Structure 1
Amino acid sequence: MSSPEQDPVYEVMKNHSGRKADNHTVQNPTYENVGIKETSKDKVPCSWLMLSILLLAVLGLLVAFSSLGISASSFHKGEQAENTAIDLQRLKHDTNKTAEKLQILNYEATGNEENLKTLKLESNETADELQMLKNELAEMKSRIAIILKHPPSCDYINGITSDSGTYVISPDPLTVFPFPVFCNFTNEKETIIEHDSMNEIQITSCDPEKCHERHIRYNVTMEQIVALIQRSSECRQYIKYRCIGSILFEGGGYTQSATWLSRDGSHMKYWGGATSQRNFYCACGETESCVDSNKKCNCDSNSRDTETSDEGFLTDKDTLPVTGLQFGDAGDAGEYGWHTLGPLVCTGRN
């Protein structure tokens, strides 16, 4: 049998009886002490009763702790929910920011597409310009090769009299193609360009002034001729009018019966040999040696009994070459006229 200190019923019975234990020695409590009649049939050990009470207490504690756990869990879940709400708000904010960035990128992409089209167009234009430059470079190389192959004029050729003949020159490879000329090395190095009216030609029978016209055609282009003139220090062209009773400029009621046309088609009023280029002057007028001292040209004497002529070189580089001739006063009996135009001759270097 356990001691009173170890018996859990002891404390309970003490509380119910209101008695104190003396020196830890008490009588064994019985059901009679508490007013309960003990029978052998209903007798239950006190230890089981106390154990049931303890179990109930433990169960209550477990329930309490369980409630505390649920409360803690609920608190924890509430905190998680709050954090989740914050995270959702932040995610929504980030999503809006991302949407804005996507809109900006879309706008930039649209602008970049336009820029790409512009750059592509500019690239095509640049490619075309590059091709043009390549073509120009190729042409320039070709012309440089021409320069090395063809001299600018006959003055650049070392030749003697026996070497006179046809040569190909290139006065300005950047503007004109090479062309053939006659090089005369007899006295000085002459570059000669001929035309279709080299021989003397009698004017047709006509009486009004400038009624006879002769257009001069050269065997090279005017651009090539001008290139040679500009590359030369001097150029000249011989011109002559032989006459019987036919006026050149003035007399017999005429103010200008004849003329020659410059390279731009202007009607010139002086004749070959008139270095002063004064109007209606011939070479004899410059030297005061005309057959009629009152006239400035021999043919202006209008003599039907004597054949005479006016001739000389035209030397103005700005008007050469001659592109046409016009004559008149040759329609009556005893009136005759013949004209001669020499080739263009250029010398020296410019």
Structure 2
Amino acid sequence: MRAARVSNRNTHEQSRHGQGKTQGQKIHTAGQGFTMNELTETDHTYPGGARGLGALCSFIRSHYSCIAATIIVLLSVGVTVGLTFINKKEISELSTIVDVLKRDLNKEQSKTAILEQRLHQMSESPDTKNIPSSCPEVAEKNGFNNQTFYVIDPDGPERGVLPMVVQCDVQEGTVITLIGHNSEARAHVKGFDGRGAYFKDVTYWNIMEQVRAVVDKSTLCKQHIKYECHRSVIFGSTDTPYAWWVTWDGRKADYWGGASPGSGKCACGQAGTCPGRCNCAVNNSTWREDSGFLSHKDDLPVTQLRFGDTGDSGEEGYYTLGKLICYP
């Protein structure tokens, strides 16, 4: 299935309500115009003062393009009304998707506002030499709130990449760094049959050079990836997969979460706990899942997701990609 192209691709349009034409409003056709008041019912007089059937014919000929356009509009309205009744289910599904996208947009706008505020505060501060280099340093200086964004400079002041925005948290007593992106919400894939036909570009809070600076400085980084499948596979019977992810430097990855690079398998396939390469390889009408952490530092973070095998009836899936998590 294809997700959107986001890059993100993350844009929602607001509805615009137009006003209908009123009596006396000007209508333009082929460089000339007339008002609705010029054609009256009482005297059957047409623009220019002509009367009678001949005048009517002449009027029709002179405004043929306008009348033809009106007929086309009426026919289109009729077809649209018919399709509305025919496709009520599809319209309802689209409405649900729009509502979900609106909620996602509101979340992203909220995050953006917070990030912009933090960056503004940073730009106003004359002291850039005392910016912490990591989340452990943030914790040592002032403590932290895991719902707050913090500015760090991973390779030190006045060199390398610019300071960047991250979140900090604690996991089993260790302070960790989290970097989010635009594809964290669970997303539906349906209607994309070709291998990798659906794609979603993953955009991070920071530019890739900054993200990689954190990865390079960390002892371990990982990112959780999950695909819920219904008659849809990740790795098929050939060496060319239907679904994959793309590394930070643009390479097509050949393994799924929980498996090793080069394995061409998911976690269960490598562990031998499923009959094929992945749980999704069963490819039947039972919902299944393949998930796990990607932890090979040379490949992280994920920059694109690709899916397919969701074009036929009953074929669909949902994917989820977590934040990049790095350990000191």
Match of 2:57 in 1: none
How far apart in 2 are the matches of 1:338 and 1:242? 5
Q: Which has the larger Rg?
A: 1
Does residue 181 (structure 1) correspond to residue 166 (structure 2)? The answer is yes
Number of aligned residue pairs: 198
Per-residue CA deviations over 1:183-202 (Å, capped at 9, x if unaligned) read 11353211000000100111
How far apart in 2 are the matches of 1:162 and 1:228? 18
- Is 1:161–1:186's contact at 8 Å kept on the other side of the alignment? no
- Is 1:243–1:307's contact at 8 Å kept on the other side of the alignment? yes
Alpha-carbon offset, residue 347 of structure 1: 0.8
Secondary structure of 1:158's partner? helix
Change (3 A) 1:210 1:178: same
How far apart in 1 are the matches of 2:181 and 2:197? 22
How far apart in 1 are the matches of 2:132 and 2:143? 18
Judging by fraction of residues, say which structure has more helix.
1
Match of 2:131 in 1: 150
Alpha-carbon offset, residue 155 of structure 1: 2.2
TM-score normalised according to structure 1 size: 0.54
How far apart in 1 are the matches of 2:296 and 2:131? 27
Alpha-carbon offset, residue 286 of structure 1: 1.9
Match of 1:170 in 2: 153
Paired AA for residue 345 in structure 1 = I
Alpha-carbon offset, residue 227 of structure 1: 0.8
How far apart in 2 are the matches of 1:320 and 1:244? 28
TM-score normalised according to structure 2 size: 0.57
Match of 1:202 among 178, 188, 191: 188
Unaligned runs of 5+ in 2: 1-125
Alpha-carbon offset, residue 226 of structure 1: 0.8
- Is 2:222–2:324's contact at 8 Å kept on the other side of the alignment? yes
Change (3 A) 1:235 1:254: closer
Secondary structure of 1:183's partner? strand
Does residue 268 (structure 1) correspond to residue 250 (structure 2)? The answer is no
How far apart in 1 are the matches of 2:317 and 2:296? 25
Alpha-carbon offset, residue 145 of structure 1: 5.6
Match of 1:15 in 2: none
Tell me the C-alpha RMSD between the 2 structures: 2.1
Unaligned runs of 5+ in 1: 1-143
Does residue 345 (structure 1) correspond to residue 328 (structure 2)? The answer is no
How far apart in 2 are the matches of 1:245 and 1:301? 8
Secondary structure of 1:146's partner? coil
- Is 2:190–2:315's contact at 8 Å kept on the other side of the alignment? no
Alpha-carbon offset, residue 163 of structure 1: 3.0
Change (3 A) 1:168 1:162: closer
Secondary structure of 1:224's partner? helix
How far apart in 2 are the matches of 1:162 and 1:155? 10
How far apart in 2 are the matches of 1:178 and 1:286? 39
